[in-house]
Amino acid sequence: MRILIVEDEPIHARYLSHALKEIPATAEAIVHTQKTLTAAECYLLDHPVDLLFLDLNVYDGDGFTLLQGFAGAQFATIVVSAHPERAIEAFECGVLDFLPKPITKARLLTAIERYEKHRYDSRHTLKFFSIFADGVLETLPLAEISHFEAADKQVIIHQNHGRRRTCTRKLGDVAKVLPPRFIRVHRSFIADTGQIKTLQAAGGGRYDLTMQSGVTIPVSRSVYASLKKNLMQS
Q: Which domains does the chain have, with CATH numbers?
A: 2-125 (3.40.50.2300), 136-233 (2.40.50.1020)
Count, residues in the chain: 234
Distance of alpha carbon 100 from alpha carbon 80, whole angstroms: 6
Q: Contacts for 97-105 with beta carbons within 8 Å, 24 or more apart?
A: 99/53, 101/12, 103/12, 103/15, 103/16, 103/19, 105/19, 105/22
Asked if 223 contacts 185 with a C-beta cutoff of 8 angstroms, the reply is: yes
Distance of alpha carbon 81 from alpha carbon 57, whole angstroms: 8
Distance of alpha carbon 36 from alpha carbon 50, whole angstroms: 19
Full pLDDT tens readout for the chain, 234 residues: 899 999 999 999 999 999 999 998 899 999 999 999 999 999 988 888 999 999 988 888 888 888 888 876 778 999 999 998 989 888 888 899 999 999 998 899 999 988 988 887 776 777 888 887 776 778 888 899 999 999 888 899 999 888 899 988 888 888 887 888 898 999 999 999 889 888 888 778 888 999 988 899 999 888 887 787 776 655
pTM of the predicted protein model? 0.63
Q: How many other CB atoms are there within 10 angstroms of residue 214's CB atom?
A: 9
Distance of alpha carbon 131 from alpha carbon 73, whole angstroms: 8
Provide the 3-class DSSP secondary structure of residue 106. Answer: helix
DSSP codes of every residue in 155-219: EEEEETTS-EEEESS-HHHHHHHS-TTEEEEETTEEEEGGGEEEEEEEETTEEEEEETTS-EEEE
